[in-house]
Structures are given as structure tokens and as C-alpha cells.
Amino acid sequence: MFHYYIFQKITFPNLCRLYQEITKRSVVNHEVDEFFTKDLSEVIKHRLNDPEAKDKYNDAVQLLLNAMEEENTKFTKEDADIISETVEKVSKKSLTRMEILAQLVVFLAAGYETTATTLHFVTYILSQRPDVQDKVRDEVNEIFGDKNEIGYDDVSKFVYMNAVIDETLRLLPPITRTNRLCQKETVVNGVKFEKGSVFSVPIYAIHHSPDIYENPEEFIPERFLPDESDSRHPMAFLPFGSGPRNCLGMRFAEYELRVTLAWIIKNYKFIPADEKLAWPLELEPTGGLIKPKHELKCKFVRL
């Protein structure tokens, strides 16, 4: 799971700086911080010194480096979808090397953590719901066919698997709330918000509201099939936040999660490993991160 101290650092940067100033201690592991900073700095340096880098590499690092060197950099639709709308926004201005380094560190944390956590949850749930698991596998086999690899175009064809993943993210969003800063004086439903006000969006509470979702504690993937999902308010489903400050690694996480789950479910069957836990799952209070009270285990059986 995502390290709690890293979550603190990202969510409450000013408080973390105050804590470090008072205690002379850091909330982030220096070895981890130095590892990422050093390695990513070396990659950036190597790319900047390589005149053929633009043609040789096609990844998030190079897209950001291109944005550093050129204004109004154009991205393909596939690039924008996989990396994030955020990457396309940075093309409107030149980036500094430090900004690129910061973006890449957050990109790694956001993309990896969301994928690992959600994959853990969805495989556990599918082990408890073999009927749903079989439907997902049938769809994957139909799209995969005899191919050994799955591409970007194949991922866009998933319908039922997308619904299963989204329903998992609704029930167990990796981040249970998100904060927003009011940029100007605003009035909403007669309530005045002063500029500089900070408010919290309760993602978990929204996802479990009976006013939005019928039987909200039940796992029902069909509620995220296109017809029903399209009729729902866009702010009713916020696993990655929303707007220009949404999760930087969202598109990458979505793509990676779908490719990984498709490959695993094509080759393995998920079965319960232990006695079935009570549903809904008991959760630990973690100040914004979702964490089940008991370990979620399942067995993978090779098909």
C-alpha cells in the first residue's frame, strides 16, 4: 500500500515543512527520496545530451522533456490518454528540469500505487464472485483471441471489465477524500466561500451514498455499463478526483490496470484463500487512505 508518510508529504506539504523545521526530522525516507532523485536526474541528463532522444524514446520522460524545450508541444491522442490530460496542459509553457523531476516522482507514485491497490481489491472480489469472474474472462478471451500481447486498441474494447474495475473503485477508492483550495470568492447554494478556503471532498461518502447508488454496499458491476453510467452525475464517481487537479497518473494507472488484469485473468482463475470475510469489508481509519482491517487473500490457479 502507499506509504502513509508520502501521502502526508503530498497532501499537507506546509505542515510537513513545519514538522521538519521543529523536529529536524523528515517525514520521507531519505534513501527512497535520494534513489528516485538520483536515478531520474541521470535519465534526464542522458536524454538532454542525446540529440536523437526525441526520435529514439516514446515515454512520459521524453514527453515532459519535449515540453521543457518547446512551447506548444503537440501530443498524439494515445499519448494524452495514457499519460494524462495533465501532460498535455504542461505543453502550454516551458518546464524547468526540477519541475520535470517532481512530475515524474509523483507520476510514479500515483500510477503505481493506484494500480497495485486496485488490482489487489479486484482480484479478491472476483475470487468471491466466480460468476462475475467468468464474464470478465469471456470478454478478455474474445478480445485477446490467440494473441500473446494486448495493445492500446484492444484495451479500448473492454466494456464489462471496465465496469468491474469502476465498481471496485467505487466501493474501495484508494483515496477516500481530496482537498481543494478556493481560488476566488464563490457562492454555492447561498453559502459563501472566501478566497483561500480549503474544503474536503468526501469521495468515499459520495461513492456509498444511497441517494446516488441503489444498494451502495453491494458489488454490482452493471451499474457502470455505458447506459447507466452515462446517465449519472459526473461528480458521483471520483476515484481519481476531477478537474485540472485530478490524479496525475490517472490515465497511466487505468491503462496499466486493464492490461495487467486482462493478462492475469486470461491465464489464472482466482479462488478464495481463506474463510470468506464479512461484507462490506471492515476498514481501518487511516486519514484518507483506504485500508481493510483484515488481509485480503486469494489463490491463483493456472488455467
Residues annotated in a binding site: 247
Under 8 Å between Cβ of 60 and 87 = yes
**217 secondary structure, DSSP code:** T
Under 8 Å between Cβ of 126 and 262 = no
Q: Alpha-carbon distance 48 to 260, whole Å?
A: 32
Crossing angle for the helix pair 250-267 and 160-171, to the nearest 10 degrees: 120
Binding residues for heme: 247
3-state helix, strand, coil in the chain (%, to 5): 55, 10, 35
Which residue in 38, 203, 7 sits closest to 109, CA to CA?
A: 7
Backbone dihedral angles phi then psi of residue 211, each to the nearest 5 degrees:
-75, -20
Q: Alpha-carbon distance 222 to 278, whole Å?
A: 22
Q: Alpha-carbon distance 203 to 211, whole Å?
A: 14
CA atoms within 13 A on the CB side of 214: 7
113's torsion region: left (phi>0), alpha (psi -120 to 50) or beta?
A: alpha
Under 8 Å between Cβ of 118 and 168 = yes
Under 8 Å between Cβ of 117 and 2 = yes
Q: Alpha-carbon distance 265 to 160, whole Å?
A: 13
